[in-house]
Structure 1
Amino acid sequence: MKIEANLQKDYQSVQRKLLVKKITTTPGIWVDGKTYWIQNGYEKLIPEHSISVHVKQIHKHSKIQYNEIFVRNHSQEPQKMKILVLNYFSKAFHNHLSFVSPTENVIYHSIDDQLYLVNGEHNSNSMEQRTVQPLWNVHTDHIWSNNQNGVLKYQPMAKGSSVSIFSLNMEVMPQSTGISRAWSIMGTEKKDILDMNHILMQTSTSIS
């Protein structure tokens, strides 16, 4: 009984550590110089732009967090916007490193031996802009180089309490819905993570 209790305790400890290191994703919308974050992670109505957003979490693989972001244009005119995807850890890790990889066009977060790849797409187009920022820049204009034109402030690397942000260009026709996808992949081997990322870029079929 004592052995079983110790095993259960060890298992719970491992699960807590994994949960603590789970990356959190918050989608957002930039339109006409204004930024709207979907704080609850699921849905938001933006009446001033006649837009509604719904986020659906889809299970692909135990190491993948995958979201489909549906944007409905309720107006009678086409609307251009940017999907924003914010990724961060709820707990601050002093050994957390986040950085942009221009050659692979992805963002990485690294803690200890765990590596997290962040990416997304809209209509087979990959990230338009990507940056990492100090945590305290979020929900301020400091994430922008030019807010009116939707240009993110580029920073390739950050340590400690930092977040990653990327954008996807989207145009939604009147009375229509646009869909973007965003994901994060966790692992210890970079090659395995990149292989999964390649599959997700190619298809939306579940990975078994």
Structure 2
Amino acid sequence: MGMDMYVKNIVDFPLVKQELITQIGIWVDGKAFWLKSVNEKILIEQGISLQIKKDHFHSKIYYYGIYLTNHMSKDRDVQILFMHQHKEATKDHFSFISPSENVIYHLANNKVYLVNGEIGGRVEGQRTVQPYWNFYNDLCWRNLDKGILQYRPMVKGAAVSLMSIGAKIPPKKTIKGSSWVIMDERKLELERLNKLFIKKTD
């Protein structure tokens, strides 16, 4: 069963405006690279390419398929990066990490957004929430050379959430990952749908 049919069988929501921006990137060799307005990035020096395929499913779920290819003849250790922020942030917005669920929530305009991701079925990784200016001035990193994020559990107002999940790509191989944003007024429903996505990637 295709992913689109799988999600449609989970939930049937009306189409909603995407209010949370998703940006995907990669950390490799002590540097972070982001896909801004394109769906593919080739890092020639690093021998890595990253491709993103976005699906909307006509619901309150945005899903991103992620494909990482190692073009070199040796293993490559990388981290896939997931960034989320509101298009129009206000001082009343609140973003935080839920350690028990290992996810990030964004609260805005009486709506709750759950964001999560995986690479090769792995969801464990680093998570942080930072003020806008920290992200855009590279202050979100505790140690960029080692790929270690500066941990902060919550931010009120204009915030950026970040996830980083590590992976090893074998020579001349492609590994797959994914990221999703789910919006609902009910936290229990968000938890249920998130668990279904994780189960699907196992």
Of 35, 38, 49, which aligns to 1:38? 35
Distance 2:25 2:69 in 1: 14
Q: CA deviation at 1:53?
A: 0.8
Q: CA deviation at 1:61?
A: 5.4
| TM-score, scaled to structure 1 | 0.85
Aligned to 1:145: 142
* Contact 1:63 1:186 survives alignment (8 Å): yes
**Structure 1 residues 50 and 139: alpha-carbon distance in aligned structure 2, compared to 1, 3 A threshold:** farther
Q: CA deviation at 1:112?
A: 2.8
Q: Percent identity?
A: 39
The answer on 1:82 being equivalent to 2:76 is: no
Distance 1:121 1:193 in 2: 17
Which letter does structure 1 place at the counterpart of 2:65?
E
Task: Determine helix, strand or coil for the equivalent of 1:184.
Answer: strand
Task: Determine helix, strand or coil for the equivalent of 1:49.
Answer: coil
Task: Determine helix, strand or coil for the equivalent of 2:168.
Answer: strand
The answer on 1:180 being equivalent to 2:177 is: yes
Distance 1:98 1:70 in 2: 28
Distance 1:66 1:104 in 2: 19
**Structure 1 residues 41 and 67: alpha-carbon distance in aligned structure 2, compared to 1, 3 A threshold:** farther
Of 125, 144, 154, which aligns to 1:128? 125
Equivalences for residues 154-169 of structure 1 within 5 A: 154-169=151-166
Q: CA deviation at 1:41?
A: 4.6
Which letter does structure 1 place at the counterpart of 2:70?
N
* Contact 1:122 1:168 survives alignment (8 Å): yes
Instruction: Kindly indicate which of the two structures has a greater share of residues assigned to helix.
Output: 1
Kindly provide the CA deviation profile for residues 45-74 of structure 1, in whole angstroms up to 9, marking residues without a partner as x: 111101111001123451111101111111
* Contact 1:80 1:172 survives alignment (8 Å): yes
- Gaps (5+ residues) in structure 2? 1-14
Kindly provide the CA deviation profile for residues 96-133 of structure 1, in whole angstroms up to 9, marking residues without a partner as x: 10000001100000013100001111222113000000
Aligned to 2:9: none
Q: Which moved more, 1:80-89 or 1:122-131?
A: 122-131
Aligned to 2:200: 203
Which letter does structure 2 place at the counterpart of 1:77?
K
The answer on 1:49 being equivalent to 2:81 is: no
* Contact 2:65 2:178 survives alignment (8 Å): yes
Which letter does structure 1 place at the counterpart of 2:140?
I
| TM-score, scaled to structure 2 | 0.88
The answer on 1:112 being equivalent to 2:109 is: yes
Q: CA deviation at 1:170?
A: 1.2
Aligned to 2:10: none
Of 164, 168, 171, which aligns to 1:171? 168
- Gaps (5+ residues) in structure 1? 1-14
Task: Determine helix, strand or coil for the equivalent of 2:192.
Answer: helix
Distance 2:152 2:122 in 1: 22
